[in-house]
Amino acid sequence: MGSRDYSFAYSACPEQVDVPFSFAPNGASAVDQTTIKGRNRAVLSVTRSNVGVYDVVFRDVFDDLVTFIPSLQLAADADAAISSWTFVPATRTLTLRARTAGAAAEIAANAANRVGGVCIFRNTKVGY
């Protein structure tokens, strides 16, 4: 269960925690940690681990990820998306994969480019 008090702004349901976040990708370079945005500083870090692959580590351990609603904002039109993701509760890591025209792709460094979304976590081992 998350150790911070998320009930005040995250969800009307105490068993559910909605965690919005975003960051500015930096092409093939490391993600600038100062570009991470989100409530309650819920994201500890974001790293680029491969072409178009980003590992988002959360500060708190949650019991399960119910769903992730991805968001990709680009400065120019492109056939790009966050195509898949996986979550490992033990390591608090959400891995995102960016694709352009179906192939792994870097998201260029640009002030208008942002990757993010909303994680909806289950914050209890019982019910829900």
- Tell me the domains of the chain and their CATH numbers: 16-122 (2.60.40)
Q: What tokens were used for 122? A: 């289950």
pLDDT at 7: 52
- How many other β-carbons are positioned within 10 Å of the β-carbon of residue 75? 11
Dihedral angle sign, alpha carbons of residues 51, 24, 80, 91: positive
The confidence band for 126, taking pLDDT boundaries of 50, 70 and 90, is low
Instruction: Say how far residue 85 (Cα) sits from the centre of its chain.
Output: 9
The angle at the Cα of 44, spanning 42 to 45, to the nearest 5 degrees, equals 130
> Hey, what are 119's tokens?
């994680």
Whether 95 has a pLDDT exceeding 80, the answer reads yes
